[in-house]
């Protein structure tokens, strides 16, 4: 039996295989330095994108948001991430679009929201059309049609941590009516 101890934590430690949202901080030679909220920035090679070759470089600027997964993450080495899965396809990873809002939550909330039996995401989806990306490092990127809707969604997700299921249903029903 393997036990997973869930704890309340905001500080992220890179783990191999985790999908995270990172912010590009520097471009140096062949790699990008990406801040993922850990103790060191992760490195991302420009070839680690779908369809990237030495001549065909991906369009990534400093300050862009990247959704990728770690291939190397241990305490002895600098973490490395890629935006491509083991078969060479992007499958949702890569540069995240220009608009939308990025905000930070605790790691426990992310795990709760990504659990297979979590209804919060489905309820949120019924409210407005939206695009959302969860990073296991506590970062969530959300985009809705208008700024106000995006702000409402961001605040709901942050508050989900502190609300009981009943309070949450109340808020959703109130929003759905208005």
Partner 1 sequence: MKETPLSNCERRFLLRAIEEKKRLDGRQTYDYRNIKISFGTDYGCCIVELGKTRVLGQVSCELVSPKLNRATEGILFFNLELSQMAAPAFEPGRQSDLLVKLNRLLERCLRNSKCIDTESLCVVAGEKVWQIRVDLHLLNHDGNIIDAASIAAIVALCHFRRPDVSVQGDEVTLYTPEERDPVPLSIHHMPICVSFAFFQQGTYLLVDPNEREERVMDGLLVIAMNKHREICTIQSSGGIMLLKDQVLRCSKIAGVKVLEITELIQKALENDRKVRKEGGKYGFAESIASQRITAFKMEKAPIDTSDVEEKAEEIIAEAEPPLEVVSNPVLWTPGTAQIGEGVENSWGDLEDSEKEEEDEDGTDEAIILDSIKMDT
> Where do contacts with partner 1 occur on this chain (CB under 8 A)?
8, 17-19, 23, 25, 35, 37, 39, 61, 63-65, 69, 85-87, 89, 91-93, 96-102, 114, 116, 121-122, 125-126, 128-134, 141, 145-152, 154-155, 158-159, 161-162, 174-175, 178
CB of 35 to partner 1, least distance (A): 6
3-state SS class at 140 = strand
Q: Which is nearer to partner 1, 46 or 65 (CB)?
A: 65
CB of 77 to partner 1, least distance (A): 19
Q: Which is nearer to partner 1, 46 or 120 (CB)?
A: 120
Q: Which is nearer to partner 1, 51 or 92 (CB)?
A: 92
Q: Which is nearer to partner 1, 46 or 156 (CB)?
A: 156
Cα angle vertex 10, ends 152, 112, to 5°?
60
CB of 148 to partner 1, least distance (A): 6
CB of 47 to partner 1, least distance (A): 20
109-126 in b/e form (b: 16+ CB < 10 A) is: bbeebeeeeeebeebbee
Question: What is the C-alpha separation between 11 and 154, in angstroms, rounded?
Answer: 20
Is residue 93 within a helix (H) or strand (E), and if so which, with residue range?
none
CB of 45 to partner 1, least distance (A): 19
Q: Which runs of E-coded beta strand occur in the chain?
A: 19-28, 31-35, 42-45, 65-72, 80-82, 94-96, 101-104, 130-134, 139-144
């Amino acid at each position: 039996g393997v036990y997973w101890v869930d704890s309340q934590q905001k500080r992220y430690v890179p783990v191999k295989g985790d999908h995270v949202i990172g912010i590009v901080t520097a471009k140096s030679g062949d790699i990008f330095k990406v801040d993922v909220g850990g103790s060191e920035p992760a490195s991302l090679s420009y070839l680690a994108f779908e369809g990237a070759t030495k001549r065909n470089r991906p369009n990534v600027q400093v300050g862009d948001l990247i959704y990728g997964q770690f291939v190397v993450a241990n305490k002895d080495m600098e973490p490395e991430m890629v935006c491509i899965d083991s078969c060479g396809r992007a499958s949702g990873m890569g540069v995240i679009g220009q608009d939308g809002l990025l905000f930070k939550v605790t790691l426990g909330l992310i795990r709760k929201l990504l659990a297979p039996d979590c209804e919060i995401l489905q309820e949120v989806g019924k409210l407005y059309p939206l695009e959302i990306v969860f990073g296991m490092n506590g970062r969530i990127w959300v985009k809705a049609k208008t700024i106000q809707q995006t702000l409402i969604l961001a605040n709901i997700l942050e508050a989900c941590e502190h609300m009981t299921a009943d309070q949450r249903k109340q808020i959703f029903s109130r929003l759905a009516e208005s």
